[in-house]
Each structure stands twice: as structure tokens, then as C-alpha cells.
Amino acid sequence: MKPILALVTLLGFFSLNNTYAQDNAVSVRVNKQTYQFDRPIRLSSVLSIVAENGDWYWPTAAVFNLTDMYAENEKSAVLDEVRSLMTHFDKDSDTHKALENLYEQVASWTVSTRIDMPVSYNRARLFHEDNPMFQPGKYWVRLNGRPNVIHFSGAVTKPGAYQHQSDTSVYTAVHTVKKAVDADRSYVYIITPTGSVEEKGIAYWNLDAAQLMPGSQVYVPISPELFSNKLKVLNKRVAALAVHRVLPQ
């Protein structure tokens, strides 16, 4: 009986180890290559695998949680809100046309839930607070070279990528892109490559001379109504959703 008992004990040990490994497994896709780990792992350890494989532009690096459906759910909710708002405006109105345009844009976006964390190999090695742990789950680390474009969306006639020029201010960049009739002429939302959302003035009375980082997004809001804040709320929501966009490379 003793050999049988030993075998049962051994099988139980392997079963427990396998369960532990499954419960603590971390899957990290770095661009197109997936790496599997049997326990939580720090950012610096993941980045060390690929840090020397390319000339990465760390400000545009991003980490997405592939098991968190927030971004996909928020995209659906935003589209529902746009559809609802469209019913409040005449089909021939500029606002209705702007909402139709916005709906088509957001519907075409690829989104994934972005984690609010800095991604830099050097900083992850040097500073503990910039070296978070990947907990059990599935993640995507997206690395790029330095981009040469700015992405425009919202109340513009031709949304998409525009050439980035060095030392370009928000004001200059915005006024080189043709805006829709119902575009807000006072503010735009800048979504930085690091994932923050900033409201910037573009009118003569609130001009913001801040420069745009390459890889930034510029969301041109639809002009809000005088006696309702529904469009203003929508604009902020779309800008926040843009943080989770998977931008074309």
C-alpha cells in the first residue's frame, strides 16, 4: 500500500502545483510576440526581453489589460449616447451631421482597456514606483518607434493622421486642419501619448501655446448647446475613450 500512497501523494502535489501555476499565470504580449509566466512579474523584467530589439519611443508605449472589457463596453455606451442625441436634432442640421460623423469615427475605433502606468525600461529599472507588477491575467505591451503624425478626430472634415512638425503648437496644428461647421472654436482636447487628457484653448482670447508631442491625439469637440450640457458631456466622454484607442502604426 505504501507505493500506492506515495503515488497518490505525488499526483496530489503535481495537481496542486498545476493549479497554483494556472491561478498565477501571466500572459504578456509584446507587440506580436506572447510570453507566458507562471507567476506575477515586474514591468522591468518584461521589457528586458525586448528593450534592445528596437529604437523604442517610450512616451508612446502603452499597456492594455486584455481581460478587462471596460473600453469595449464604454465604446458601446458612447455609440448609444450619440444615437440618442441624434434624435434631438433635425437631420439637416449641422449638429446632426456632426453627430453622424462622430458616430462613424467612434464605430471604426479599435479600443482596448489601457492601464494607467508609465512605460519606460530605464525608469522601471531605476524607480520602484515605475516598475509595477503584472498580476495574473492577460496583457498587451505596445511599443513603437518615434511617430511622425498627430491623430485628429471629432468635428473635422477629414479625421485621421496628419504630419507632425517639430515645435508645433496646439493652436498651429488645429488651425491647419479643416473643421466641421459645428466644431467648437474655443477648445480642443489633447490626448497625450502617455494617456492624459488635457483641454486646450484655441481662440484668440484663451490661446494655449503648448507644443504637441508626436503621437498625440487631437479631439475637436462638437460645439455645445447654449442651454444644455449634453454635448459637452459627450465630448468629454469621447475624449476619455480616446485614451483607450489602439492607434494605427
Please write the tens of the pLDDT for every residue from 79-117.
999 999 999 999 999 999 999 999 999 999 999 999 999
Percent of the chain with pLDDT over 90: 79
Identify the residue with better confidence: 143 or 2: 143
- Average pLDDT of 189-199? 96
The C-alpha cell that represents 139 in the structure block: 496583457
| pLDDT at residue number 189 | 97
User: Between 119 and 4, whose confidence is greater?
Assistant: 119
User: What pLDDT band is residue 6 in, cutting at 50, 70 and 90?
Assistant: low
Can you give the residue ranges of every domain in the chain? 25-67+116-142, 70-111+146-242
Find out whether 192 and 183 touch, Cβ atoms under 8 Å: no
pLDDT of residue 142 exceeding 70: yes
Mean pLDDT over 142-158 rounds to: 96
Question: Does 3.10.560.10 match the CATH number of domain 70-111+146-242?
Answer: yes
Q: Identify any residues that bridge with 161 across adjacent strands, giving them in sequence order.
A: 151
State the average pLDDT over residues 48-64: 95
Instruction: Confirm if 115 and 64 have CB atoms less than 8 A apart.
Output: yes
For the chain, give the mean pLDDT: 91
Rounded Cα–Cα distance for residues 89 and 69 (Å): 32
What pTM, to 2 d.p., does this model score?
A: 0.89
pLDDT over 70 percentage in the chain: 91
**Candidates 3.30.420, 3.30.470, 3.30.70, 3.10.20; CATH matching 25-67+116-142:** 3.10.20
- Scored b (16 or more CB within 10 A) or e, 20-32 reads eeeeeebbbebee
